[in-house]
Structure 1
């Protein structure tokens, strides 16, 4: 599994793009900050097309907690590194069903088993 950097692309199930904001500055890959625990959480989602107020559909606006994808072995200053297996739910509708996931890790070099 590849480590995620600030150039990673995460999307909701509908194709909306998750805003990335790295929180640590110590570890970089090719001068790009590595993402760690909670960097993908509670982030804005832009351009989610899942909207139809008439039938009660609302677009994904924010990511919720990560359900899987943090390294169990590797940390930066105590925070687990994000891997390209990161997945979690969004606040979009229907509630509790819509996921966000990694489509591009931001770098092709550094890997980890988990």
Structure 2
């Protein structure tokens, strides 16, 4: 049996299984496993936004830089603003159907979540 490495530290967060460093500063890039659970979920949310509606996309298996680029393209396709933070893409407004169609066209298999 080989020596095992920790995969999580309360001090540093997720650790790379290859080099043992935090995933954010991994030198070997073996810790670049897909983020999220691989199931793309599109949802309309209003909570905590003063009654404003946003469409959120979670579970995209992309690194932060690629996720930022995809968010930019998605916002342009919807003709609206938004943001990308914490692995979640937020598009201003109720664009669930448009986002589902766009993600399907890009090769993802999105699911409508929530109501």
- Structure having the larger proportion of residues in helix: 2
Q: Looking at CA atoms only, which structure, 1 or 2, has the larger radius of gyration?
A: 2
TM range (shorter): under 0.3
TM-score (norm 1): 0.24
TM-score (norm 2): 0.24
- Structure having the larger proportion of residues in strand: 1
